[in-house]
Amino acid sequence: MLLDHERCYRAVASRDARFDGHFITAVRTTGIYCRPSCPAMTPKRTNVEFLPTAGAAQQRGYRACRRCLPDAVPGSPDWNLRADLAARAMRLISDGIVEREGVPGLATRLGYSERHLNRVLTAELGAGPLALARAHRAHTARLLIETTPLGMADVAFAAGFASVRQFNDTIREVYGVPPTTLRGEAGRRRRGDVPALAGTLVLRMPYRSPFDADGLLAFFAARALDGVESVGDGTYSRTLRLPHCAATVTLQPAAGHVLATLRLGNPRDLGPAVARLRRLLDLDADPVAVDAVLGADPALAPSVAAAPGLRLPGTVDGVETALRAVLGQQVSVAAARTAAARLAAALGDRLPPELTGPTEGGPDLLFPTAEVIAERGAEVLTGPARRIATVLAVAGAVAAGGLVLDAGRDPADLRAELTALPGVGPWTAGYLAMRLLSEPDELLATDLAVRRGAEALGLPSDMAGLAARAENWKPWRSYAATHLWRAAALAGRTS
């Protein structure tokens, strides 16, 4: 990834927070790397180098600034905008694939050899998969050190380190102090904060402003399944099926961050949980860039002005979203919600009280797995036989391992595999690319709500006319589609 030195230095000199997460500033004279907006004295131009990732900085021997905490920033929006090998690898590394399956597992999921993967990542990101995963482990460890009372040995293994010694050495190298010092510094920073309830982790997940939290909450509220999700009082709560165990989370948008209250069945799931929640809320997006392009269209401009920072709803579970999307083919959102809720109530798993917390009536039901639906779905599903067959076909393909639904998929390959299944059309494939892969440029011109929204805003509502107009919205047509969904919902309420 080539970084323009002059442009990066101007961002650092002005302490421009908009560039946090886009690149890392490494200072040769101090051996420290920072976020661009670090409040420390601006280093001389000749003393800095700019790197694409924290992993690249660590591999060059730099340690993280303990003042600006460069790993506690929104991630690079490049990982959503790009669909190349490096971007797909970064998504899977953030989800903890290297810790669970090693570099061979990462390479297999991406469909390349280990040697080729290492060569591409080193060239693109300045570090290979092991170094990038190490940076991810260090970040997860810092979160656990600062937000939990876990002993250091438990933190080490929960973060994915192979030994306590490796954990201690990495923390010293990355942060310049032993783990116990990080815990002491975190305690001083937390003075005055509301203490977390026993058994919970409370994290602040930063985002780039503006952030249309109301739009996301409205989207989730319209589709929330009883027992699996709930929306109310400005929060979104749901159950999570994570790699090692189940969990629950409550998300509460606030100024500059989203407060996430997590109850994990296994602390090793913290890293994957945070990565998936950030993708669910599209927290790594660059809203200024999106709004600049879409706001230039006179018809879209009023919607952009009314909902600045509108985000693309993602997913925490690709299999769940795929099955719900198939259930929603050619029916209303309300009808799809009813069908999915019936399926979850009949085949889902109830969580133990220690994961649901002290509040009565909160989400306590896991959406059923593909294996369970493939085996027992025919007993529960109602409606047209063709739709039931499609749901069972998708569930069966996932259960058999023939269809993988994770954030590391190549968009073109995923579309081809989905549309090869009986009853799965281009709309479903495009919708899943949008939500599972955070594909930023999927218009969904065949979607009736998109076309109704276009009509409400005075845009062409026929597919050909809308597609032609949307050429001006590249590469953010998914965000435009979300604006059109919003316009259709507003038109429906006022009609």
Q: How far is 21 from 24, CA to CA, in rounded Å?
A: 7
Q: How far is 495 from 493, CA to CA, in rounded Å?
A: 6
Radius of gyration of the chain (CA): 23
DSSP 207-258: -PSP--HHHHHHHHHHHPPTTTEEEETTEEEEEEE-SSSEEEEEEEEETTEE
Q: How far is 195 from 197, CA to CA, in rounded Å?
A: 7
Strands 235-241 and 229-232: antiparallel
Q: Which one is catalytic: 8, 20, 34, 291?
A: 34
Return the bridge partners of 48, or none: 27
34 noted as active-site residue: yes
Q: Which helix (H) or strand (E) holds 63?
A: strand 63-64
Q: Is 290 left (phi over 0), alpha (psi -120 to 50) or beta?
A: alpha
Handedness of CA 195, 282, 86, 5 (dihedral sign): negative
3-state DSSP call for residue 462? coil
Handedness of CA 485, 490, 491, 495 (dihedral sign): positive
Q: Which one is catalytic: 269, 284, 286, 447?
A: 447
Q: Which residues are catalytic?
A: 34, 447
